[in-house]
Every structure is written in structure tokens, then in C-alpha cells.
Chains A and B, each alone.
Chain A
Amino acid sequence: MTGRPTPATPPAATPRLVLKGISKVYPTVVANDQVDLAVQAGEIRAVLGENGAGKSTLMKIIYGVTRPSAGQIWWEGEAVEVENPAHARSLGIGMVFQHFSLFETLTVVENVALALPGKPALDALARRITAVSERYGLPVDPRRPIHALSVGERQRVEIIRCLLQNPRLLIMDEPTSVLTPQAVRKLFETLRQLAAEGCAILYISHKLDEIQELCHAATVLRGGKVTGECIPAQETPASMARLMIGKDLPHCEHGAAKTDGELRLRLAGLSHASDDPFGTDLKDIHLDVRAGEIVGIAGVSGNGQQELLRAISGEEPLSEKFPVQICGVEAGRLSPGQRRKLGLAFVPEERLGRGAVPGMALADNALLTAAHSQHMVAGGFLRFGRARDFAQRCIEAFNVKCGGPGAAAKSLSGGNLQKFIVGREILQVPKLLVCAQPTWGVDVGAAAFIRQALIDLRDRGCAVLVISEELDELFEICDRIAVIAKGRLSPTRPASETTVEDIGVWMSGLWPGAEASEPQPPTTRAESPNA
């Protein structure tokens, strides 16, 4: 504790939650080392740190998911041992997880019911969910099964599930990564209102500007230890970043783009009905991406991003050839492998299980997409030496922290695996790189590295298409930006001639000319940002 006056924090006699000397030791790693933390009623306290700093483990200890190896917890002045999440909820602790804890085969309302005591009536609960979701601007249909929801929608379910329990301490683990700027503001209003009503909030994030805007106080973790406490309003993002990563925040160099490059990707009226009944149908999408530029597609998740990516990558082949043209070839019916031979490289949103095989070594994962371009196959047999060499090159060029080419993909942290996958795609010298959520859940240092790598790739004459839900990221690296909403794509705008605000409005489907293509009375729009 710094002992400095904290004017933004309301005075409170007994802290709602106090942690003293909390440690958590796993067989291979010390996740938390003598952590002290206190949060008052009505206080919004940030827990700030990079991925792997031990934030999530600490929160799981508070929520009773894991037990600490040492240390003591006091809840409202009484020493407690939080046995399990149900015990935590009965104390009044609610948590929104970063990695979702939802049952895929159950519906939204069934998942919410599972977290509530007793057996709530589903119909009444569905109405409460709808009420909460409208109040906080988190639209979700209570009767849809979880497996049909996008990542962003699943997070909404997690948030709603917590809010339904009227918690006295709310733990939010990176909640804003999938929200529009307007929705973030709405969430912040909700959180401030909750805090004003006396709820304590622990807000986990690595987004410094958000923390400055929202939080009364911050505890900074690095390598499992508390490295400092601060009042975000009195700090600069740079000074907090230093506490968090131990050095200055890296920045991307971003020069002007070429505008007359060769056409590498053309989407010519791409329409595709999704197989999934809850998927998003793509409607008449037009887009050109040229060599030497980065085009970004913004949008709230679940608006057709996954479907668009699969249509471009070839994981979901189309019935016609012309809508997807890669380097001048009509590629709509080609397989992912054939498209790769045309010069396409692709970084998917999910790293483990899609971009990489979890149980396989990095060298084997190099074979996944680079087998042909790097001549790792001869006469139907694998050339392991070449695979290992290529994996080693990815590791060195992209500064991947791991045990070498023989390390299993799942042994890497999210950020390091993402660097490896991005490296694997970039080192194949693609003509066109399509990258989904390049830095989702990646720590600041690695994120800046990946962004710079994309910009460098552009400068070497590659065409880059980035689909991301983080607007700041898109504005940092993109030359042109478009928005996807409800399966339609807006026109592109040069990034320098538009603002986060404009793009935020477009994200709900309201761009110039959008109404003309599909007339709809404005009252049916679920979340009108102008309201």
C-alpha cells in the first residue's frame, strides 16, 4: 500500500476483500509470489499486467477455482477459504472469465441457470436475461446454443450471467476486447453505476487507456509479483507501461502506403449462405486489396468475420469460382492448399487446434502450411531436417520464446505461439497475407512486434488483409479500413481520413448507402449508437 490519499476512492472502513501473501506454485512455474491486494466497497481497482503475469491465476484463487499454495484471504473482514466457485458466488463474488466457461451444447439460458442456485424457471430467466442484455447493450438471444455463438457473443453471455447475480465483488477479466467503442462506453457506465451502488470491481486488463478512464486504483503485476500500486489518473500510459513490462512501450513505424500496387485479392460480389443455422450469411461483398497496402476489416464479432475468413482461406469452398480472386486467379472453388500455392498465407483466429496442432512439435507445425513452399516433402516422404530448420528460422526471426523446434505447440504461451504462426506464414514470403485477430490475448510487447512485422511485410510489397475487433490496432497499422456488419461489408475509407467514432457508428451497420441496399426501418436496429 502506498498510503497516498486516493480521492477517487470512496472511504470505507473494512475493505471488501483483502489478500495477504498469496502464492500459487505449479509443478513448472510460480504463478503468484507473495501477492498482497485489497479492494474497497465501491472501488474499481485495476489489476494490470502482461499475459502470464499471474493476473488470471490470482483471480481464479479469489473465485475459488484454484487453491493458493500459501497466503490468506479476508472477505469483508473475515478470514475465509474459498472452497469453489459456488462458495464464491454465495459470498457475493462474480467473475467474467477471459477464457469462457460455458457448456457448448447448452443454450444461453441453460448456461446461466447452471450458475444460479436452485432450479430457476427457464422462461422467467430468459426474460431477465433479455432485460439485462438490453439494459447494458449486450444483445444476445437466450435460446441460442453456445456453440453457435461467436467469441464476442459468448463473452456477452458471461457478462450477463454475472450481472444477474447482483454481485458485491465483480471480477472482469479483459472484458472489452470484443466490444464496439460505444459498447465499451456503455459497459463503463454500467460498471461505474455498479461501483456507485457499492459493488467492488476488480478490472483485469492490459489496456492502459481504459484503465486510466475507468479505474480508481491499480495494482501492477509482473512475473507473479506485485511491482507497484498507482492511481491511474495521476499516471501516464507510458509510466504504467514501465511498471507493467519493466521497460518503455514499443511503437510501430508506419510509413505511407503504395496505392498503385498490383491487385492481389478481389472479392467480387461474394455471397454465401452459412451452413450453421446461427451463422451469418455473407451478402454481396466487394473488396480489393493491392500489393503494398494493409486493409483492415473492423466489426463486432459474429457479424460474418468467421464466414468471410473461411471463404477467403478456402476452408469453406464456394460453389462458384469468380467471387474470390487471388492474384488474378478465380479461386472460389479451390482448396486451402491450392490457394496457398497462388501465394495466399493465412493466420487464423484460433491458435491452438487450428493454426497449430497442440500436441505436435513446432517443427511438425511448420509442416502444416509450409510443407510445399519450403520443399519439406520429397517423393511423398518428409524431410525433417528442413522442417526443423524452417521452425528454427521462425523462432529466431520472430523472437519466439520456447524450448526449440522440438517444443510442443501447447507448451508455448499464447503470444509466443502467435509469433510462431505469424512467422511461419510471413517467412514463406506470401503475396497476400490474411490475418485474423493478430494480437488477441497477446501481451503488449508481442503485439507491437507482430504489428510491426505486418507493416514490414507490407513495405516489402505484400498485400495484407487484417480482420480485427480491436479498433486501436486497426488504426495503428491499416492504410484503409472497412467494416463488416450483419454479413455486409462497408466501403473502405483511408484510415487517415476517418476516426474511431465514425467506424464505431459503421460497426452497427449504418454507413452511407447501407440503407439503400437493404431498406429497413431504423427502429428495428438493435443497438443504434446514436440513441
Chain B
Amino acid sequence: MLELEARAEPSRLMSWASPLLAVVLMLAGGMLVFSALGKDPAEGFRVFFINPVKDLYAVSELLLKATPLMLCAIGLAIGFRANVWNIGAEGQFMLGAVAATGVALHFEGSESGLLLPAMIVAGAAGGAAWAAIPALLRTRFNANEILVSLMLVYVAQLFVSWLVFGPWKDPDGFNFPQTKMFGEAALMPMVLEGTRLHLGFLIALAALVAGYAFMNRSYAGFRMRVAGEAADAARYAGFSAHRMIWVGLLLGGAAAGLAGMGEVAGPMGQLTDKIGSGYGFAAIIVAFVGRLNAFGILLASLLMALLYIGGEQAQQYLNLPSSISMVFQGMLLFFLLGSDVFIHYRLRLRRRAAPGR
């Protein structure tokens, strides 16, 4: 008889092997899904997982897709480590995009080299400001930040819609819900000639490094880890709980806002009502698949981007529904949670009943 036995201490090996195991199981599950839909599994695998990395351009698209996921996830991970549950990165992402767009539209036609840095600052500030609302309500009135930050996503979506259907609508845009296209000075420079991969990717990599340094090397990050693991110990040590909430939410909001800025000033070049494309929510999965750790988040964001693009490819080449990438995301999280059991438990063969009874 098989049984689960508690380990004496959590397995370090399993905490790293578990995401890999989950990926393998997801692939296996995916093969079954392809077969069940009457597609050749080998062909499905090629389209879904090989096409997105088949040449330099494909890889650049993958990195482009991973950029906002990385930024949102590293910001969220800092808060999650301190048990600050910011679920509203999607809204902060949109407000970052709005703030950056506001700067771009206000200085329309400017050729100044300061325009882009100003938009970057505005993007981060916009996201942080949106995250400040749940922080304020939590610290002043003890309102649950999960609910407040989540509800603010829908407020942000409606705010964006109002802007692009109303005051910011491009007068020459045939009534489409979108702003004017940004000028050259308001667009992110490309880092790879002939692709759409822009400066935002380098910013995201820098954010990962900064996030790692903050969480693992700084005193402020240490305080947040203590608050997350043992709130009473943080109080005993004199670490302010309010400060953790502010830092966790503001950093998460700023990172999400930056990601939003990168979308409008990068591949989109304008603000539309489709700006919120789920990156903020997907980043929650990325943060956890990446073990709330900078290096893990790098890998997890690449994997998640692969699922997004693979799903698009499967639509184009295999006539599969667009929800196929959601199926893969769901399987990934499901298998991850299952594999995580083995961090704290191990499987053991148990013989029934001792002899002589």
C-alpha cells in the first residue's frame, strides 16, 4: 500500500524539481489533449512548443511576450513574500499605461530625449498610485487588500474605456476606441534590429536583478520575508506591519505600471481599450511557478510566454480553439500544486501489519 509520509524537513531538491516535473506532466497531458482532439500529437507538439522558438524572430516575439509577465511577477513576488496579496496587478498595469499615454499625448510632437524617461517614471508612478489605494484602505481601515485590489482592476478597465471612447479618442481614428499613435520620441527603442523586442525587455531583466537584490540581500527585503513567515516575530523585532503593506503594494504597482508603459510605448504604440490582456493575472501564476524567486520568475515567464504564443500558433495551424492556451496554463498550475506535495511529503511503500499478530 502506498502512503504519504511527512518528510523531516522540506526537500530542497523537490522544491526545484517540482516545477520541472509539472512541465513534463503538462506536456504529457497536452499530448493526450491533442490526441483526443484528433490531431497528431507530434505535430501538435511541434506547432505549440517548437514553432515559438524556431528562429530569431520567433524568439524575439517570445521575449517580447515574457517582458510584461516578468515585470509584473517580480513586483508581485515581493509583496507575496510578505503575505501582501496584491491581486490587482492587471489594474495597476492599465493605470501605468494610462499615465504614460497621458505624458505622450500632452507632449505630442515633442522630439525631446526626456520624453521617454518621463513616460517611464509616469508609468511606474501611475501603477504605484493605483496600488496605493488598497494600501491606504488596508492600513487605515483594515480593508482586505485582495478584494480591493481585485475590484480596482474593473474600475481601471472602465476608466481606460472612458478615456479611449471619450476625451483621448483619436479624432482621425474612424471612431475606433484608441488614442493617436505616439510620436517617435515617445516609443521604446528596439534592442534587436528587425524585431519588435524593445528596451522594456532590458528594463524587465534589470528589475529581476533589482528584485533579487531587494529580496535576498537588503534589510528591507529581509524584514518583508520575516513579516511573511512569522508576523509575531516581525512585531517582536519592531518591523512595522504598515510599512510592509505599503512597500509590498507600491513596488508591485510600480512594476506593473512599468509593464503597462512598455506595452503602449512598445508593440502597441497607442492606448486602446484592449490594453488589459491578462498579463497582470497571468503574472500571479508566473510568480508562484517561479517560487517567488527572481531566477525562477525569469524561467516561468518564458514558459508562460511560450504557452501564449504556442496557443496562437495552435489556432492558426491546427484549427484549435483559442482557449487551448488557457487549458495548458491550467494544467501547469494544477500539476505544479500536485508536485508541490512532494516537497513536504514522500511516497512510501507500507507493508500491512507486523508479523505475529
Task: Check if A350 sits within 8 Å of B354, measured CB to CB.
Answer: no
- Residues of B contacting A336 in the complex (Cβ-Cβ under 8 angstroms): 235-238
Least Cβ–Cβ distance between B352 and chain A, in angstroms: 13
- Residues of B contacting A26 in the complex (Cβ-Cβ under 8 angstroms): 8
Does A155 touch B at the CB level, under 8 Å? no
Task: Check if B237 sits within 8 Å of A369, measured CB to CB.
Answer: yes
Task: Check if B229 sits within 8 Å of A357, measured CB to CB.
Answer: yes
Least Cβ–Cβ distance between A335 and chain B, in angstroms: 5
- Chain A residues close to B by CB (< 8 Å): 26-28, 70, 313-315, 335-340, 346, 348, 350, 353-360, 364, 367-369, 371, 377, 380-382, 408, 411
Task: Check if B9 sits within 8 Å of A411, measured CB to CB.
Answer: yes
Task: Check if A353 sits within 8 Å of B233, measured CB to CB.
Answer: yes
- Residues of A contacting B141 in the complex (Cβ-Cβ under 8 angstroms): none
- Chain B residues close to A by CB (< 8 Å): 5, 7-9, 213, 217-220, 222, 225-226, 229-230, 232-233, 235-240, 354
Task: Check if B233 sits within 8 Å of A367, measured CB to CB.
Answer: no
Q: With A358-B230, A364-B222 in contact, is A408–B8 under 8 Å at CB?
A: no
Q: Given A348, A353, A367, which contacts B222 in the complex, CB threshold below 8 Å?
A: A367
CA of A371 to CA of B234, assembled, Å: 13
Q: Given B5, B213, B232, B237, which contacts A350 in the complex, CB threshold below 8 Å?
A: B232
Selected A-B contacts with CB under 8 Å, 5 pairs = A354-B233, A355-B236, A358-B229, A371-B219, A381-B213
Q: With A357-B230, A358-B229, A368-B226 in contact, is A313–B236 under 8 Å at CB?
A: yes
- Residues of B contacting A411 in the complex (Cβ-Cβ under 8 angstroms): 9
CB-CB nearest in chain B for A384:
B217
Task: Check if A381 sits within 8 Å of B236, measured CB to CB.
Answer: no
CA of A398 to CA of B209, assembled, Å: 39
CA of A103 to CA of B240, assembled, Å: 29
- Residues of A contacting B240 in the complex (Cβ-Cβ under 8 angstroms): 335
Q: Given B8, B219, B235, B354, which contacts A377 in the complex, CB threshold below 8 Å?
A: B219
CA of A335 to CA of B235, assembled, Å: 9
Task: Check if A338 sits within 8 Å of B217, measured CB to CB.
Answer: no
Task: Check if B8 sits within 8 Å of A28, measured CB to CB.
Answer: yes
Task: Check if A382 sits within 8 Å of B226, measured CB to CB.
Answer: no
CA of A70 to CA of B237, assembled, Å: 45
- Residues of A contacting B9 in the complex (Cβ-Cβ under 8 angstroms): 408, 411
Task: Check if B237 sits within 8 Å of A381, measured CB to CB.
Answer: no
CA of A335 to CA of B220, assembled, Å: 17
Task: Check if A380 sits within 8 Å of B233, measured CB to CB.
Answer: no
Task: Check if A314 sits within 8 Å of B229, measured CB to CB.
Answer: no
Task: Check if A348 sits within 8 Å of B236, measured CB to CB.
Answer: yes
- Residues of A contacting B238 in the complex (Cβ-Cβ under 8 angstroms): 314, 335-340
- Residues of A contacting B235 in the complex (Cβ-Cβ under 8 angstroms): 315, 336, 354
Task: Check if A380 sits within 8 Å of B236, measured CB to CB.
Answer: no
- Residues of A contacting B7 in the complex (Cβ-Cβ under 8 angstroms): 27
- Residues of B contacting A313 in the complex (Cβ-Cβ under 8 angstroms): 236
CA of A358 to CA of B9, assembled, Å: 12
- Residues of A contacting B218 in the complex (Cβ-Cβ under 8 angstroms): 380-382
- Residues of B contacting A354 in the complex (Cβ-Cβ under 8 angstroms): 230, 232-233, 235-236
Kindly list 5 other residue pairs between chains A and B, CB separation below 8 angstroms, not including A367-B219, A368-B233. Answer: A335-B240, A337-B238, A355-B236, A380-B219, A382-B219
Least Cβ–Cβ distance between B153 and chain A, in angstroms: 32
Task: Check if B236 sits within 8 Å of A346, measured CB to CB.
Answer: yes
- Residues of A contacting B8 in the complex (Cβ-Cβ under 8 angstroms): 26-28
CA of A126 to CA of B354, assembled, Å: 44
Task: Check if B226 sits within 8 Å of A381, measured CB to CB.
Answer: no
- Residues of A contacting B222 in the complex (Cβ-Cβ under 8 angstroms): 364, 367, 382
CA of A346 to CA of B233, assembled, Å: 12
CA of A408 to CA of B238, assembled, Å: 21
**Among the interface residues B5, B218, B219, which one has the most CB atoms of the partner chain A within 10 A?**
B219
- Residues of A contacting B236 in the complex (Cβ-Cβ under 8 angstroms): 313, 315, 336, 346, 348, 354-355, 368-369
CA of A193 to CA of B232, assembled, Å: 42
CA of A315 to CA of B237, assembled, Å: 9
CA of A522 to CA of B237, assembled, Å: 42
**Among the interface residues B9, B233, B240, which one has the most CB atoms of the partner chain A within 10 A?**
B233
- Residues of B contacting A335 in the complex (Cβ-Cβ under 8 angstroms): 238, 240
6 nearest interchain CB pairs? A336-B238, A337-B238, A354-B232, A28-B8, A377-B219, A357-B230
Q: Given A337, A346, A359, which contacts B229 in the complex, CB threshold below 8 Å?
A: A359
Task: Check if A381 sits within 8 Å of B233, measured CB to CB.
Answer: no
Task: Check if B237 sits within 8 Å of A337, measured CB to CB.
Answer: yes
Least Cβ–Cβ distance between A154 and chain B, in angstroms: 17
Task: Check if B217 sits within 8 Å of A360, measured CB to CB.
Answer: no
- Residues of A contacting B220 in the complex (Cβ-Cβ under 8 angstroms): 380
- Residues of B contacting A346 in the complex (Cβ-Cβ under 8 angstroms): 236
Q: Given A353, A368, A381, which contacts B217 in the complex, CB threshold below 8 Å?
A: A381
CA of A353 to CA of B236, assembled, Å: 10
CA of A502 to CA of B85, assembled, Å: 53
Task: Check if A360 sits within 8 Å of B229, measured CB to CB.
Answer: yes
- Residues of B contacting A28 in the complex (Cβ-Cβ under 8 angstroms): 8
CA of A27 to CA of B345, assembled, Å: 12
- Residues of B contacting A70 in the complex (Cβ-Cβ under 8 angstroms): 354
Least Cβ–Cβ distance between A465 and chain B, in angstroms: 16
Q: With A27-B8, A359-B229 in contact, is A368–B219 under 8 Å at CB?
A: no
CB-CB nearest in chain A for B348:
A27
CB-CB nearest in chain A for B7:
A27
CB-CB nearest in chain A for B240:
A335
CA of A26 to CA of B9, assembled, Å: 12
Least Cβ–Cβ distance between B228 and chain A, in angstroms: 10
Least Cβ–Cβ distance between A128 and chain B, in angstroms: 35
CB-CB nearest in chain A for B219:
A377
CA of A348 to CA of B237, assembled, Å: 11
CA of A65 to CA of B9, assembled, Å: 21
CA of A357 to CA of B226, assembled, Å: 7
Least Cβ–Cβ distance between B264 and chain A, in angstroms: 33
CB-CB nearest in chain B for A371:
B219
CA of A530 to CA of B220, assembled, Å: 55
CB-CB nearest in chain A for B217:
A381
- Residues of A contacting B354 in the complex (Cβ-Cβ under 8 angstroms): 70
- Residues of B contacting A337 in the complex (Cβ-Cβ under 8 angstroms): 237-239
CA of A380 to CA of B213, assembled, Å: 11
Least Cβ–Cβ distance between A313 and chain B, in angstroms: 7
CB-CB nearest in chain B for A350:
B232
Least Cβ–Cβ distance between A147 and chain B, in angstroms: 13
CA of A377 to CA of B218, assembled, Å: 8
- Residues of B contacting A348 in the complex (Cβ-Cβ under 8 angstroms): 236
CA of A27 to CA of B230, assembled, Å: 27
CA of A401 to CA of B236, assembled, Å: 24
Task: Check if B232 sits within 8 Å of A368, measured CB to CB.
Answer: no
CB-CB nearest in chain B for A368:
B237
Least Cβ–Cβ distance between B20 and chain A, in angstroms: 23
CB-CB nearest in chain A for B354:
A70
Q: Given A27, A355, A408, which contacts B233 in the complex, CB threshold below 8 Å?
A: A355
**Among the interface residues A315, A340, A353, A368, which one has the most CB atoms of the partner chain B within 10 A?**
A368
- Residues of B contacting A368 in the complex (Cβ-Cβ under 8 angstroms): 226, 233, 236-237
CA of A360 to CA of B238, assembled, Å: 17
Least Cβ–Cβ distance between B121 and chain A, in angstroms: 22
CA of A399 to CA of B219, assembled, Å: 28
CA of A354 to CA of B226, assembled, Å: 10
CA of A120 to CA of B217, assembled, Å: 56
